[in-house]
Structure 1
């Protein structure tokens, strides 16, 4: 197996097009066109984690947080990150990060938090716009089924929990082949009428190249007529945060203990709230920017991290705002990545780092 097979799979699950503009997810160090010897999964890449990869004969480290996040002006070994990068290069270890792109997908980081908390019917909290497009094309009736299949295989036709979605209308197409053309039907210089099917189907914007390539490869015409429309629809499975419901309402103190146990956190900061908790919003890492969305979604609690002092005031008693810790809310991303890769590659066993990279300790 090649390293780029793992990377290709990860980017099918969490496309780089979904990362935030400030982020630096993707291949960061090394070349992916080499055999995979072993893979180590971690939340953060440190010098100690690279040493661990060397000891365990892994030449690929996949992390959640990018080791190269802010621009590097020099790599001299002055910091832990610089030393980790230098050691990885010297040891021919590839470094890859799946960060906010993994945060933004329905099967990603926040789904893992929702699972840990036992939330039912989880949905993306703040679905994004501008991530969907529509393809319209016209094809002879006899080729419509095969073309639809090709488009679906290229990533078109998925709406929520449904796939192979399209709308089809029968009509009459006209065209005249000019000198130098090689028409599939009709003759040069004569107008031709062809019974055609108009196919409309939706696709993720980042799949446009693949969808158009499939269209051109499987369409019988020499010149393919097609239109691509940007859509303003919300993408129901792409966006930050998730919201779901507990099986039954819980008092605040019971819910806090539940979160503490589920997320294995030593400390929770939270606001005052007097109601019962059943509908819960979550966002791993720094997610307080989603507080208005959590309130709008009717959540009685919002579990996130990195909440500043004055930001706690914004809850205004409308819900229970919890800061459960950045590392604590995202640590199970390691388990998520391992599960996804084992399911896709059942004969390959990725390793989970045994090093806790949380830089924060708690004194009580």
Structure 2
């Protein structure tokens, strides 16, 4: 048994909710964080049939990719499938958790799983996110600087690419005077004190700001800690949309499309005109990825694998890339496999079931 909040915390450390798109509704949708569960059902979508499956398998929690609720509900009367699904879940004490665009946005998420299925190597984020990094600047007495620096790094700051503990120190002098209510670490009340200090700078993802500042305040010896937080425009290469990688060996376009069709078990692949070139570099985006087409072209991808391209968007390839639209469901179907792997590895003492219900609403004749 484990509490739902332990599972939600695990997913939100991997894919913080702050990374979800503004329209999204990731997180716990139905249920009590403090409720205990011993069985989890993982799925791509939540439908009435999936709730029935959860009941049969005695699952107290469903982990899904797509949230059953996207926009606000004013009533739950059972007038549509969303409301009926929610009613059935609540009546049967089944919690529902969703990891959606936040899981799309991290390296080990949905797009990473697609890359794995295609055997891509040297994978990286196709469109790194901007506005996700911040800089911390603080001032520490020289002797205590190592302990403060170590605490801030341990909280997750100072990571740049494949490097950690990245920071910058500059020595100077700080001045301060405490009033009668203070208990200064150095100096005397009511007297101006000058202290040799280290100006320490480092960066961190915005979504761990609370954790970083807490670590700073707990490790710093001063009663009042001076620090600055700056928002940065730098791209964060560990977070963003889509991914791109290379095949171990280049393939003919038709051979690659056949591999794609077989791997993703799709009824049909809609694609642009073939270029009669070898395929080596492949860009991917689970779900609806047409917004990344120009990034895929700029990155030099030979093929862009995604779903939900509209008719006129196929013209935008302009013979610079092959668009391979394999379908929304098909592109994301292995997300429940990703959920299963993550949960079995990190919560090995309770039952985890892959949903056997096909929730794909699209059929091919």
When the two structures are superposed, what TM-score results if normalisation uses the length of structure 2?
0.96
Matched ranges for 1:100-139 at <5 A: 100-139=101-140
Point out where structure 2 has 5 or more consecutive residues left out of the alignment: none
What displacement does 1:70 show?
Answer: 3.1
Q: Is the 8 A contact 2:133 2:232 kept in 1?
A: yes
The structure with the largest strand share of the pair is: 2
Counterpart of 1:297 in structure 2 is: 299
Number of equivalenced pairs: 363
1:231 and 1:193 map into 2 onto residues whose CA distance is 31
Q: Deviations over 1:47-88 (max 9, x none)?
A: 111111111111111100010013334322222221110011
RMSD: 1.3
Q: Deviations over 1:202-257 (max 9, x none)?
A: 11111111211111122110000101111110000111100111112211110101
Q: Structure 1 residues 32 and 343 mapped into 2: Cα distance closer, same or farther (>3 Å)?
A: same
Q: Is the 8 A contact 2:135 2:230 kept in 1?
A: yes
Q: Is the 8 A contact 2:287 2:306 kept in 1?
A: yes
Counterpart of 1:284 in structure 2 is: 286
SS at match of 1:338: helix
SS at match of 1:173: strand
Counterpart of 1:52 in structure 2 is: 53
Q: Is the 8 A contact 2:38 2:351 kept in 1?
A: no
- Pick from 328, 331, 334 the counterpart of residue 332 of structure 1: 334
Point out where structure 1 has 5 or more consecutive residues left out of the alignment: none
1:163 and 1:36 map into 2 onto residues whose CA distance is 36
1:192 and 1:296 map into 2 onto residues whose CA distance is 56
Q: Is the 8 A contact 1:17 1:101 kept in 2?
A: yes
When the two structures are superposed, what TM-score results if normalisation uses the length of structure 1?
0.97
1:47 and 1:116 map into 2 onto residues whose CA distance is 29
1:199 and 1:324 map into 2 onto residues whose CA distance is 49
Matched ranges for 1:1-364 at <5 A: 1-274=2-275, 275-363=277-365
Bigger shift: residues 178-187 or 288-297 = 178-187
SS at match of 1:53: helix
2:309 and 2:56 map into 1 onto residues whose CA distance is 37
SS at match of 2:174: strand
2:38 and 2:342 map into 1 onto residues whose CA distance is 19
1:261 and 1:146 map into 2 onto residues whose CA distance is 54
Q: Is the 8 A contact 1:32 1:94 kept in 2?
A: no
Q: Is the 8 A contact 2:268 2:326 kept in 1?
A: yes
1:40 and 1:152 map into 2 onto residues whose CA distance is 36
SS at match of 1:125: strand
Q: Is the 8 A contact 1:301 1:321 kept in 2?
A: yes
What displacement does 1:137 show?
Answer: 0.8
What displacement does 1:360 show?
Answer: 1.3
Q: Deviations over 1:147-200 (max 9, x none)?
A: 122212322111122222222223322212222111011101112222222221
SS at match of 1:238: strand
